[in-house]
Amino acid sequence: MRRPSRALLAFAAVVAFAISGTTPATAAPAGGHDTRATSMAAEFGTVPAAATATTIGDIYPSKWRNVPQDSVVDNWNMYNRECVSWAAFTIARHGRSANNYGDAKYWDDNARNHGYRVDNTPTVGAIAQTDNGTYGHVAVVDSVHGGTITVEDYNWTGDGHYLVHDVSTSSFRYIHFYN
């Protein structure tokens, strides 16, 4: 698979900024959380997709969105503007909890241990999860189109911003917290 150019990744960051309305983090992130030296976008080589009618949108609370990435801890004990914080926030909106689930690479195991279904079948609203990268990654499935899914997440490009984009269904496993 061809990796995106630097110009394309810069374009993705501009799109994320336009969607989220947030400025890039000004402080260097602290250790022990989901920020990656290489972005998941670079690893998987995907590009942003246009928002769809079913897109949740960047409804992440401003108290976490409008401050530098990794500068505060959210209600689920996760650093702000990370994929895990966004996913935990989305799960909580549906009356479930991923409190203290840790780095994304542990989410599938933690979810199984709490009785949630984890499989290879994407459904709208499921949490897409991978162990790839140092910390793994999680995203919310927005829509499914055959071998591709549209997801919403934070920090896909490593800059702490919200993004809607397409990825291959085979790149993830799926946690069904409320579907």
| Residue 137 DSSP SS3 | strand
153 within domain boundaries: yes
159 within domain boundaries: yes
User: Which CATH number fits the domain that encloses residue 44?
Assistant: 3.90.1720.10
The per-residue pLDDT for 161 is 96
The whole domain housing 141 covers 6-176
127-130 and 173-176 beta bridge pairing: antiparallel
The per-residue pLDDT for 22 is 35
Please list, in sequence order, all residues whose beta carbon lies within 8 angstroms of the beta carbon of residue 149, skipping any fewer than 6 positions away: 122, 128, 141, 142, 143, 166, 167, 168, 169, 172
Sign of the torsion formed by the C-alpha atoms of 125, 74, 160 and 174: negative
The per-residue pLDDT for 54 is 61
Q: Is the pTM of this model over 0.75?
A: no
CB 34 within 8 A of CB 135: yes
Q: What are the tokens at 63?
A: 């108290």
The per-residue pLDDT for 10 is 36
SS (H, E, C) 56-101: CCCCCCHHHHCCCCCCCECCCCCECCCHHHHHHHHHHHCCCCCCCC
Q: What are the tokens at 110?
A: 């933690």
1 within domain boundaries: no
Per-residue pLDDT 10s for the chain (179 aa) are 333 333 333 333 333 333 333 333 322 222 333 333 344 444 434 333 344 446 789 999 999 999 999 999 999 999 999 999 999 999 999 999 999 999 999 999 999 999 999 999 999 999 999 999 999 999 999 999 999 999 999 999 999 999 999 999 999 999 999 88
Number of folded domains that form the chain: 1
The per-residue pLDDT for 56 is 83
169 within domain boundaries: yes
102 within domain boundaries: yes
CB 66 within 8 A of CB 60: no
116 within domain boundaries: yes
The per-residue pLDDT for 5 is 36
